[in-house]
Chains A and B, each alone.
Chain A
Amino acid sequence: MPIGPGTQLGQYEVQDFIGQGAMGFVYRAYHKHLERTGAVKVLQGIAPDPDTTARFRHEAQAIAQMRHPNIVNVYDFGEHEGVPYMIIEYIPGGSLANRLSQGKPDTSTALKYLRGIAAGLDHAHGLGIVHRDVKPANVLLEKDDTPVLADFGLAKLLQG
């Protein structure tokens, strides 16, 4: 059985399909004890060769190192019947790309986005992590418009 609505991943139950990312599918997920919604990224659709699997795990590890209000949190990582998945926080406001498609934000909102993205990047860079795919589609928005950097799938860890 592939991962889909109804699949139990640890304590999270997979719910509806949210979208397709660079490395697979994204579903909403619900932790019934915590009463919290998360998002599960599933590495499938593309055949998960060892390289892709390693990069997927690498993304989760990069996020797991960071603790910053402008960077997405990861809750769990695992495999379900050989298919790797990661559970990250669910950011309810959609992406900045989506927001921009609805029209130009006012200057103060634009500055709020830019300040947040800059702060998140600064934190990542301080830990030697380069995102390498910073774009409006990879910036998610909180309910209060706080921008949250996501999709560290291409992130590179600087050595030394």
Chain B
Amino acid sequence: MLQALSPDPDTTARFRHEAQAIAQMRHSNIVNVYDFGEFEGTPYMIVEYVPGGSLANRLSQGPVTHAAALKYLRGIAAGLDYAHGLGIVHRDVKPANVLLEKDDTPVLADFGLAKVLQGSSLKSMTGVTTGTPAYMAPEQVMGHQVGPSADRYSLATIAYELLAGVVTVPGLPQSNSVNVVL
């Protein structure tokens, strides 16, 4: 649901855009959308319920085995590869946006910042730095054009976290980590 924040036209459009991006995709490592509509002026989308919580939550409970880490990484990579093949860049790949099935299959969710590439390049959203800095590629932090490689950078930061047990930029998970990434 798009609630608590007053749904201005821009936010509403982005919300619908997210649903449309997901609706295009059919992949075991990408969340499914079932419906989209408005209830008394509040837009909502219905997506599948993925029961295992997020990868961020799993990681907060302690380190994962190498076999589990590889299963997560393979799945996330396959989902991203599929999305990129359709010209969709996620732009906010991080453990909190990876959900887990009962059998530990990772499922990419939260395409709220996703961008559909037009032709071979894409215009970045000028003046807006979107994403989560600790997992963001330098070009994204700087507000430059962002393509599939930015998602792959984020995947690599998750790989580091899964295999080394620590985040690439410790202690600065939010906006202040920009300079460290650079």
Contacts and interface: CB of A to CB of B under 8 A. Distances in A.
Interface of A: 10-11, 31, 33-36, 67-69, 73, 75-76, 89, 142
Main secondary structure of the interface of A (DSSP, over half): loop
Contact of A69 (B26, B34, B35): B26
A75 B101 contact: no
A33 B28 CA distance: 23
A144 to B, nearest CB: 10
Contacts of B28: 67-69
Interface string B8-31: 000000001001100110111000
A125 to B, nearest CB: 15
B152 to A, nearest CB: 23
A85 to B, nearest CB: 14
Given A68-B28, A69-B28, A73-B32, A34 B48 contact: no
B158 interface: no
Contacts, number: 40
A84 B23 CA distance: 24
Main secondary structure of the interface of B (DSSP, over half): mixed
A103 to B, nearest CB: 27
B153 interface: no
- From B16, B19, B28, B35, name the one whose CB has the most chain A CB atoms within 10 angstroms: B35
A142 B27 CA distance: 12
B37 interface: yes
Nearest to B107: A67
A109 B19 CA distance: 33
Nearest to A38: B23
B97 to A, nearest CB: 19
Given A34-B20, A67-B101, A10 B35 contact: yes
Contacts of A10: 35, 37
B33 interface: yes
Contacts of B37: 10-11, 33
